[in-house]
Amino acid sequence: MLSEQIENGAPFDVFMSANAEYADRLGRSGKLLPSSIRVYAVGRVGVLWKDGKRHPLRELATAPIKFVGLPNPKLAPYGVAAQQALEYAGLWAMVQPKVVYGENVRQTLQLLESGNADAVLTADSLLQGKDAEVIPADWHRPILQKAGLVTASPNRELAQRFLDFLVSAEGRAVFARYGFSQPPK
């Protein structure tokens, strides 16, 4: 939605997205300064169960688990990564009929909180402070999160300083505290 707003001239200074393709597309269209686009963090997928305890991932395929929440892979890179992880674990064929999709990572967590899912795979950054388990990073393609400067920004100098902070050691330490991995160099 935000990328469409920027396409239509919304007055933003910096665009940050969990879906790197949106930032890249805005760069190709000239709505973001192409030279400013950077990976600021790598997202991780976490698993949270209704009972708040950790379970082996294979339990997603068992009868007591009726609904498994995932972000919609057509809309969210975390959904793509969650599906890839389940495929890697050999569970996708058994879990797919139980999948209920959230439109985004937050709505997916709400499926669990509202009792409409028995377990969710969503952004680990949303699961901080809960007894969630992180899916191994090599079970799916990296979730590269990108940011860039909006070309029409009237606050370009300040926006650049913010972007520089995001990719600084201090900024990356903040992201690490909230469940993100460091971007590749």
Can you read off the two tokens belonging to residue 30? 């000239």
Answer for the pair 53, 132: CB distance below 8 angstroms, yes or no: no
Give the per-residue pLDDT at 67: 98
Q: In sequence order, what E strands does 7-88 have?
A: 14-17, 38-43, 45-49, 68-71
179, 125 contact by CB (below 8 A): yes
Mean pLDDT within 119-144: 96
Architecture of domain 45-134: 3-Layer(aba) Sandwich (3.40)
Please write the tens of the pLDDT for every residue from 7-34: 878 889 999 999 999 999 999 999 999 9
Q: What is the pTM of this model?
A: 0.91
Name the CATH superfamily housing domain 2-42+142-177.
Periplasmic binding protein-like II (3.40.190.10)
